[in-house]
Copies of this chain bind each other. A is one copy, B any other.
Amino acid sequence: MTLRSLTRFSVPLFNRFLLHNKTSVRCYKPRRALMYVPGDDTRKLSKAFKVDVDCIVMDCEDGVAMSRKETARNTIRKLLDNGKPLKPRDYDWAIRVNSVHSGLLEEDLRQVLTAEFLPDTILLPKITTVDHLKYFSDQVNNSIKDEEQINLVMYIEDALAMINLVDLCKSAFELSKTSKFKLTSLIFGSDDFCASIGISRSENASEILYARQKLVVVAKAYGLQAIDMVYIQYKDLEGLKRQSDEGARMGYTGKQVIHPNQVPIVQEAFLPSQKQIEWASAILNAFEEQQKIGKGAFNLEGTMIDMPTVKQAQNIMNLMRSV
């Protein structure tokens, strides 16, 4: 992939990778918009690869009826055997398999992991305990070749997973030391989460603020992307924009989308605004001046500017230079 597509907040993570592992940088996949396509729908699948989107998810799970699971698996397998479709810019080629407790995962993974070409990423839904991760790790290690590696994205979508969240991240990192997967992102599966605590989600989602913000903090503590909930009223693009901006303000780096029309709004929301760029630029200019004359914290139009503020400004400018 090129650096052009790096998401808004990937820069700190990116810098961290730079220090340790130059290869990882080249593998970095932005996921501002993560678009679901039913794995059994060849028409929608072929249309999806024409959309300019960071991440395409070929779905085997909730978007596919029970009677169509086999069809979805076979359709996706055929695509994998043909290799990753080329697009004007690189993207994340991903598959959402069924959950560990569905009874469908073993066959899902067998088809995916023995294909001619591996996808970039597997999205594993409904993880709640460390045992789910161990099961996944074993399946991956038994099926893919030694030199290969695959990205893992974990769904956090019930109360128990939310409680076990830190342990799940620690365990994934521990397992990946000797396994062939690498955890890159957490997805907030808000609708399943709401079902698990017995509620319906409201428009502003204030009733799940604790969960929504905890997920961001844990993700960032472990250098992971945080992917926000689906906006299901897919015809309401204003509502989508409002919720996307809200997620970005909280620290989410991307959002799940269920319709191509949602993509540009979401990918825009996870880039810095013109105002933020001007703000960042002014701060960095002033900072340079102050450093020359040996001052640390300084004031700019009545606001005290110190190192954390300068760092935020740097993040914004680095990203904009990349895109």
Contact = CB atoms under 8 A, between A and B. Distances in A.
A195 B313 CA distance: 9
Interface of A: 8-9, 11-12, 38, 62-68, 157-160, 162-163, 166, 189, 191-192, 194-200, 202, 207-211, 213-214, 216-222, 230, 232-236, 248-251, 253, 258-259, 276, 290-291, 294-297, 299, 302-309, 311-312, 315
Nearest to A157: B308
A304 B199 contact: no
Contacts of A66: 291, 296
Contact of A12 (B198, B221, B306): B198
Contacts of A236: 302
Nearest to A248: B199
* Identical chains in the assembly: 3
B38 A199 contact: no
Contact of A192 (B211, B303, B308): B308
A198 B280 CA distance: 13
A163 B63 CA distance: 34
Given A159-B219, A236-B302, 8 more contacts: A68-B294, A163-B217, A163-B218, A163-B221, A195-B308, A198-B251, A199-B251, A210-B217
